[in-house]
Structure 1
């Protein structure tokens, strides 16, 4: 296949991957016309827009497809068609954001969720925000992970009868590499330049432990210090692969 035909093939393949009905509907419903016409949010594949009564703010220069919901960037190519967005609260986007296939994003009434530049949610991630969830720039969450800032059910001490907090904010630092199948629970705080091993449970403040650490376990603890993902070595390749050029 010569170069012009190859370019045409990939262009057609991309156009067919976009859910144009949901993309156009969302942008023109949620943004002023001068923003909506640039189509800053793209939906790919099947997605259910359960509620769009909340607010989305893009706190960055507006570009086409800067937030991709349902993007294909992992090795698996099939979808389960269970992607869902419930935007009842406020979502703030501070740059390019990449959300994989089959994600569930629930941002409840009165809740605040913030995605930093180059935030990434792998496939089949579940995010439940009823209070506050902030993901720093280059915070990348592996597939089949879950972020929950609430316990959903009221709990109490059976001796003192004291009610335990129902929810607590989650703060994920900048340049965090959180592997697959992790549970990030209410009250979690991570420092910048943090790596989290697979199948771990984060449920407290780890920010005081300092940068360049590897966390892991149930519940998570420091496994190794002076440990970091090679962000500078990967940066250009990730940006070239995930950021749609005009």
Structure 2
């Protein structure tokens, strides 16, 4: 199906989505286009748009490289706050999950390929001009309680994730709670990042390893 017809078939769901979140005058501009293939689980939270918004400023569930995500439905569940400071594009199979106390923030010109997962229970924030390849996962919580049996206490299960500006996260990357990534950074395919990594213009790979310095990237 062409992108044009996919958008047309998605107008009813997009209208419903926009009317749930925005005043009628704003909703009728369709600032958010959401694919009819995206499952809407919860729309109880809040979406913040930039002061200047237009048709299709935010696109969820359309396109994707190499037909990835073609057989996977997207998923949207918002109990908290999602904030956009500019345009953002999410490809097929995207899963967006924001808990009641969660904040998911995207800078301007955000793009992600198919089958990416954003699960914000506390805070996940991106700077401007970020690019995510396919099958990228960001989790700012453990998902379940983890108990220290020796002390009988709970481990800290949630920590914010902060991604700087002009960051390219390659395919198959997993970013876990407490991670902070600087500007002009590349995270290599298949990496698992579990902690803050200081520095800019660096290539990160494996398990929190700085592989190269003084680098940058272009589309």
Q: Shorter-chain TM-score: which interval? A: over 0.9
SS of the residue 1:23 aligns to = helix
Equivalent pairs counted in the alignment come to 217
SS of the residue 1:215 aligns to = strand
What stretches of structure 2 of length at least 5 have no aligned partner?
Answer: none
Higher helix share: 1
Q: Go from structure 1 to structure 2 and tell me whether the alpha carbon gap of 1:197 and 1:77 turns closer, same or farther (over 3 Å shift).
A: closer
Contact 2:13 2:36 (8 Å CA) reproduced: no
1:93 to partner: Cα distance: 0.6
Q: Go from structure 1 to structure 2 and tell me whether the alpha carbon gap of 1:88 and 1:66 turns closer, same or farther (over 3 Å shift).
A: same
1:224 match: 212
1:238 match: none
Give the stretch that moved more between structures: 219-228 or 152-161.
Answer: 152-161
Which structure is larger by alpha-carbon Rg, 1 or 2? 1
SS of the residue 1:26 aligns to = helix
2:4 match: 15
Report whether the alignment pairs 1:99 with 2:90: yes
2:202 match: 213
Contact 1:23 1:41 (8 Å CA) reproduced: yes
1:113 to partner: Cα distance: 0.8
Contact 1:47 1:81 (8 Å CA) reproduced: no
Q: What's the RMSD between the two structures over aligned residues? A: 1.6
What stretches of structure 1 of length at least 5 have no aligned partner?
Answer: 1-11, 235-246
Report whether the alignment pairs 1:194 with 2:185: yes
SS of the residue 2:14 aligns to = helix
Give the stretch that moved more between structures: 45-54 or 169-178.
Answer: 45-54
Contact 1:45 1:81 (8 Å CA) reproduced: no
Higher strand share: 2
1:63 match: 54
SS of the residue 1:75 aligns to = helix
**Structure 1 segments of 4+ aligned residues over 6 angstroms from their partners:** none
Alignment deviations for residues 27-53 of structure 1 (CA, whole Å, 9 cap, x no partner): 122111221111100013411111001
Q: Go from structure 1 to structure 2 and tell me whether the alpha carbon gap of 1:190 and 1:40 turns closer, same or farther (over 3 Å shift).
A: same
